[in-house]
Amino acid sequence: MGLSTTLANALTGLTAASHRAEIVSSNVANAQTPGYARRAVDLSAQSIGGVGAGVSIDGVSRSLNQLVLNDRRLADAAAGNAATENTFLGSVQDAIGQPGTPGALGDQVDAFDAALVQAASRPDSQAQLQSVLTAATNLTGKLSSLTTNLQQARMNADSSIASQVDDLNRSLSQIDALNSDILAQRSSGNDASALMDQRQQLVDHVATIVPIRETARDNDQIALYTTGGAILLDGNTAKIGFSPVGVITADMTLASGALGGLTINGTPVASGDDGPLGGGTLGAQFAIRDVLAPQIQSQMDALARNLMERFQDTAVDPTLSPGEPGLFTDAGAALDPLAETGLAGRIAVNGLVDPAQGGALWRLRDGLGATAPGNVGDATLLNALHDTLAATRVPASGAFNGTARSATGLAADVLSQVAGSKQSADARQTFTTARQQSLTEIQLHDGVDTDAEMQTLLQVQQAFSANARVIKTVDDLIQQLIGM
């Protein structure tokens, strides 16, 4: 080996050591950077004409456990889905209120019952009759407020769906653009690792909206598929479509066409949480809008119907004619079983007993159909109103188990069902969050180990020094040859 060859070999060693030091410093600096994958310089022996010619830098590779990354992304989607649904159920549970909480639904029914008992003990007292009207009004107001909250939650979900669809389309376009940029950099022989980190961050973001799988393609390109089978990116970018609505009422559903669903490249797809784009935060919002909130609304409507049926019975108030509304009305009208949807938002106290609406309090004592006040000491009707409220009867609608209940018991069952769903959602969120954290820790373990990087840097330093000494020795020899 001649001196020139020795010098060339040492120079390639210096270049390789310098590049490795640059990569190691980048690893250490980005140890906590989201989406950053550890780099390593790929080296190979170089030869010219069968003779060793130093070391060749083949490129920079990213160290990444794709299997763990894919599983962590699925865990991100599941955790986001569970947290979104759990938050909604928690808000509904709080709105209904726990027993003993001021304004709780069950307490409103109890307060109405207590007002009837007190009024029956003093049927001549205008103050006691006013208490009955106030308690009844508070009860209908609570049901109306709960309906308003549920429909607002559906509108919020609809708005969130639109926002997430826009975010999804924008992120997919950016990923597609990065695919092109990475291909261009690779074709030019440049390191595209930084672009690949940016792409990974965007894919991680998409994975919280919908659960996805990343598939590698040639030249460091990637394709994205949802676990539900939809193609989001594979050469071409899918276009997700959704049309939000401004106002949502209890009767509006996806099946009726009143609410918007998802499209992929203009083709309608199933929009539920079990559809091709379900399983993440997007699917959770569809579940709230189209399943969870309507189910709870149905239970509220069943309770409202039960209250109306109890008090429009002519056996309870003989002054009523068949078909006339009782103490509780559907916005002033009698109950129509075919128009039950949203009833909890329309239930109101009959204006015949409300002085503010031209009615009279004495009708609570003497009957809604009475034309004149009766015996002020007669508590017969007030006792009948109390008895019918406390009587057990099987609900005519709603997802109850067919057991006869009092009005108080039915209100308690509504809360119990929401609380049961919330408890299941708590358990699901706990599991998905724990799995997400475990996979995140595993991924971090496979990431940058700063201690190992510093050890590598010491080795690079030794290699650099060794090659530098070779160059110094060759230079000394050359100087001696020149001086001879």
State the alpha helices, DSSP H only, in 38-125.
Answer: 66-96, 105-121
Q: Are residues 81 and 32 in the same domain?
A: no
pLDDT value of residue 213: 94
Q: Are residues 21 and 94 in the same domain?
A: no
DSSP string, 226-293: ETTS-EEEESEE--EE----S---TT--TTTTSS---EETTEE---STTSTT-SSHHHHHHHIIIIIH
Lowest mean pLDDT among 114-128, 134-148, 186-200, 386-400: 186-200
Angle (CA) 209 210 214, round 5°: 120
Other Cβ atoms within 10 Å of 222 Cβ, number: 19
Specify the higher pLDDT residue, 31 or 216. Answer: 216
CA distance 178 to 173: 9
Whether 287 is covered by a domain: the verdict is yes
Q: Are residues 410 and 362 in the same domain?
A: yes
Whether 469 is covered by a domain: the verdict is yes
Which residue type is seen at 446?
Answer: D
Please state at what angle helix 3-29 crosses helix 450-483, rounded to 10 degrees. 160
Q: Are residues 113 and 167 in the same domain?
A: yes
Q: Per-residue pLDDT for 18 more than 90?
A: no
Q: Are residues 93 and 55 in the same domain?
A: no
pLDDT value of residue 1: 52
CA distance 18 to 54: 15
Q: Are residues 46 and 78 in the same domain?
A: no
Q: Are residues 38 and 149 in the same domain?
A: no
CA distance 152 to 161: 14
pLDDT value of residue 90: 97
Q: Per-residue pLDDT for 316 more than 90?
A: yes
Q: Per-residue pLDDT for 484 more than 70?
A: no
- Stretch 12-23: mean pLDDT, rounded? 75
- Stretch 259-280: mean pLDDT, rounded? 95
Residue 444 confidence class, pLDDT cut points 50, 70, 90 = confident
Secondary structure of residue 94 in the 3-state scheme: helix
Entry pTM: 0.87
Whether 93 is covered by a domain: the verdict is yes
Q: Per-residue pLDDT for 379 more than 70?
A: yes
Q: In which domain, by residue range, is 20 found?
A: 3-64+449-483
CA distance 351 to 195: 69
Whether 443 is covered by a domain: the verdict is no
Q: Per-residue pLDDT for 445 more than 80?
A: no
pLDDT value of residue 264: 97
As for how many domains the chain has, the answer is 2
DSSP string, 127-149: HHHHHHHHHHHHHHHHHHHHHHH
pLDDT value of residue 105: 96
Asked if residues 187 and 225 have their Cβ atoms less than 8 Å apart, the reply is: no
Whether 12 is covered by a domain: the verdict is yes
CA dihedral 413, 415, 416, 422 (to 10 degrees): 150
Whether 352 is covered by a domain: the verdict is yes
The proportion of the chain whose per-residue pLDDT surpasses 70, expressed as a percent, equals 94
Whether 444 is covered by a domain: the verdict is no
Q: Per-residue pLDDT for 58 more than 80?
A: no
pLDDT value of residue 24: 74
Tens digits of residue pLDDT in 193-204: 889 889 999 999
Whether 441 is covered by a domain: the verdict is no
> What contacts 384, CB < 8 A, 6 or more positions away?
316, 317
Q: Are residues 234 and 165 in the same domain?
A: yes
Q: Are residues 462 and 318 in the same domain?
A: no
Q: Are residues 384 and 274 in the same domain?
A: yes
Asked if residues 23 and 41 have their Cβ atoms less than 8 Å apart, the reply is: yes
CA distance 206 to 222: 14
Asked if residues 346 and 364 have their Cβ atoms less than 8 Å apart, the reply is: no
Q: Per-residue pLDDT for 453 more than 70?
A: no
pLDDT value of residue 8: 72
Q: Are residues 53 and 139 in the same domain?
A: no
Asked if residues 145 and 132 have their Cβ atoms less than 8 Å apart, the reply is: no
Angle (CA) 412 413 415, round 5°: 65
- Stretch 5-30: mean pLDDT, rounded? 75
Q: Are residues 147 and 266 in the same domain?
A: yes
